[in-house]
Amino acid sequence: MTSYVTSAAKAEINELRRLRGLLPPELQSWVTVEKTTEIDPPLLRCEELSRDEVEIAIDLVKWENLALDQRNLLFWHEVARIQNDTIPREGWEMAALAIGLGGAVGELWVQDGVLLLLALGLCGVSGYRLYQKNNSDKALQELLEADEKAIALASRFGYTLPNAYKSLGSALKTLIEQTPKKRLRKQYETRLEALRRSASKAKSQSKAKRSSRDVTQTSPYQL
């Protein structure tokens, strides 16, 4: 039993070390990869720990059920979110909204117009930020953009474009099958459909480039 536990712990350490090696060099000094300690956590979660430190937390129990290429592309999706600056920030908005509302009520009582305007302004800024955070269309668009960037990152690490698309598509299919939550499953399905359209477009562009290159090479008008 002790030997099994030791072996499992070693495997987890090796996997975390491997994933850290998949970080682009420009991120390695301030992005950490750790095993999550939450109860019933998401598979992957990005969090800004401070202004100069971001953590990617992984549920290694669920992670083991995925193939290596699937893991890589899902990991690069999170890396892409960091690069796109779309990960959750510290939740100051609710506190600011509460302070603003409290201030507004207080200034109505004492009838100080300037402070009332400041309190209402604080309410407006924090309320708008909360709206942005909870805007499902915006959040989904950010996920789709991260998928596209994950494909580019995979190419940077040696994947061919077709293999990168296949690996991420396969990962999303697996997540759809394993996800009981309807809303999250729908999100994965939307990402998969968008990925298929992107892959089809990339394939068409590749064919057009090859055809153009072949015509150029055989053209009698070439100088």
Whole-angstrom CA distances from 83 to 10, 101, 109, 142, 170 are 30, 34, 46, 11, 23
If you average pLDDT over every residue of the chain, what do you get?
80
Report the alpha-carbon distance of residue 58 to residue 37 in Å, rounded.
9
Mean of pLDDT values over 44-59 = 90
**Residue 107 pLDDT:** 44
Mean of pLDDT values over 136-158 = 94
**Residue 105 pLDDT:** 45
**Residue 49 pLDDT:** 85
**Residue 8 pLDDT:** 81
CB atoms within 10 A of CB 112: 14
Is beta strand 53-58 parallel, antiparallel or unpaired with respect to 31-35? parallel
Report the alpha-carbon distance of residue 49 to residue 31 in Å, rounded.
10
**Residue 217 pLDDT:** 55
Mean of pLDDT values over 198-216 = 79
Mean of pLDDT values over 191-206 = 93
**Residue 37 pLDDT:** 86
Cα dihedral across residues 24, 169, 88, 35: positive or negative: negative
CB half-sphere exposure, 160, CA atoms < 13 A:
5
Residue type, 159: Y
Tell me the per-residue pLDDT of 64-82, one tens digit each, with 9 for 90 and over: 999 999 999 999 999 999 9
CB atoms within 10 A of CB 93: 18
Cα dihedral across residues 166, 168, 173, 178: positive or negative: positive
Predicted TM-score (pTM) of the model is 0.76
Mean of pLDDT values over 180-197 = 95
Report the alpha-carbon distance of residue 85 to residue 200 in Å, rounded.
27
Q: What residues contact residue 188 under an 8 Å CB cut-off, 6+ apart?
A: 172, 175, 176, 179
**Residue 118 pLDDT:** 57
Supply 146's token pair: 């991260």
**Residue 125 pLDDT:** 46
Q: How far is CA 161 from the centre of its chain?
A: 20
